[in-house]
């Protein structure tokens, strides 16, 4: 599971925000399915396994979870929570954050139709290179800034007695790509598209 490698390399002495793509989902074959695709049985199990693993990876550090409102992300967060609970780690219910979905989409159905027509990798490259119609979605630089602000706001909200909180944000591959390319300088052509439960971490 790719996010395990990310989590193994984060600092232990400060708050960290990790954006994690949801677990394996049903195929998306039409624009309407972009919202409604749910986790597969494999996805449910993988998310529970991550939660159980987190009990060891995180140690005694507090864990706070956030989720995109799109159902597959909420399902992932809940299964991760179940995995943590199975290892006697108490966590609060995930907080739904609308900005972890696609706040940069002015017309979500139109964008999904474009992505399905072009294919994910070509869509992302054209968007990131400023070649798509900005009346249907924000320029990628603005969208990336918005996603980074979501992760940063969790770090800013860390309490003095929880200086090393691990903030997990269950979101989508496009959001990971935005942060990875615009702030880390890694393109999907170099590192491939984020897989299910892949992730990127930020800290101060």
For residue 161, how many other CB atoms are within 10 A of its CB?
A: 7
Backbone angles phi, psi at 19, to 5 degrees: -95, 125
The pLDDT value given to residue 5: 84
The pLDDT value given to residue 11: 92
For residue 168, how many other CB atoms are within 10 A of its CB?
A: 30
**CA torsion 160→50→67→22, rounded to 10°?**
150
The string of DSSP letters for the chain reads -HHHHHHHTS-SSS-EEEEEE---B----STTHHHHPPBPHHHHHHHHHHHHHHHHHHTTS-EEEEE-SSHHHHHHHHHHHHHHHHTT---PPPEE-GGGS-TTBSSHHHHHHHHHHH-HHHHHHHHHTT-S-TTTB--HHHHHHHHHHHHHHHHHT--GGGTT-EEEEEE-HHHHHHHIIIII---HHHH----TT-EEEE--
- Residue 35 contacts residue 69 (beta carbons within 8 Å): no
pTM: 0.93
**What is the spatial distance between Cα 73 and Cα 83, in angstroms, rounded to a whole number?**
15
The pLDDT value given to residue 168: 96
Backbone angles phi, psi at 16, to 5 degrees: -135, 135
Question: Higher model confidence: residue 173 or residue 3?
Answer: 173
Question: Is the alpha carbon torsion for 110, 146, 155, 5 positive or negative?
Answer: positive
The pLDDT value given to residue 1: 57
For the stretch 150-183, pLDDT in tens is 999 999 875 555 678 999 999 999 999 999 999 9
For the stretch 174-197, pLDDT in tens is 999 999 999 999 999 998 899 999
- Residue 166 contacts residue 58 (beta carbons within 8 Å): yes
Q: How confident is the model at residue 104 (pLDDT cuts 50, 70, 90)?
A: very high
- Residue 54 contacts residue 6 (beta carbons within 8 Å): no
**What is the spatial distance between Cα 80 and Cα 50, in angstroms, rounded to a whole number?**
6
């Amino acid at each position: 599971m790719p996010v395990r490698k990310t989590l193994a390399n984060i600092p232990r002495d400060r708050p960290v925000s990790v954006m994690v793509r949801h677990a394996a989902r049903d195929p998306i074959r039409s624009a309407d399915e972009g919202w409604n695709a749910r986790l597969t049985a494999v996805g449910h199990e993988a998310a529970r396994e991550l939660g159980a693993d987190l009990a060891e990876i995180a140690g005694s550090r507090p864990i706070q979870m956030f989720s995109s409102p799109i159902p597959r992300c909420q399902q992932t967060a809940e299964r991760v929570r179940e995995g943590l609970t199975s290892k006697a780690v108490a966590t609060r219910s995930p907080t739904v954050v609308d900005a972890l979905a696609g706040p940069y989409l002015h017309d979500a159905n139109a964008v999904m139709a474009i992505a399905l027509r072009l294919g994910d990798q070509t869509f992302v490259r054209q968007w990131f290179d400023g070649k798509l119609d900005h009346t249907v979605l924000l320029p990628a630089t603005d969208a990336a800034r918005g996603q980074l602000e979501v992760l940063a706001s969790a770090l800013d909200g860390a309490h003095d007695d929880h200086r090393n909180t691990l903030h997990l944000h269950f979101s989508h591959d496009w959001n990971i790509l935005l942060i990875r390319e615009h702030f880390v300088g890694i393109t999907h052509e170099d590192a491939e598209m984020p897989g299910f439960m892949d992730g990127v971490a930020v800290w101060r």
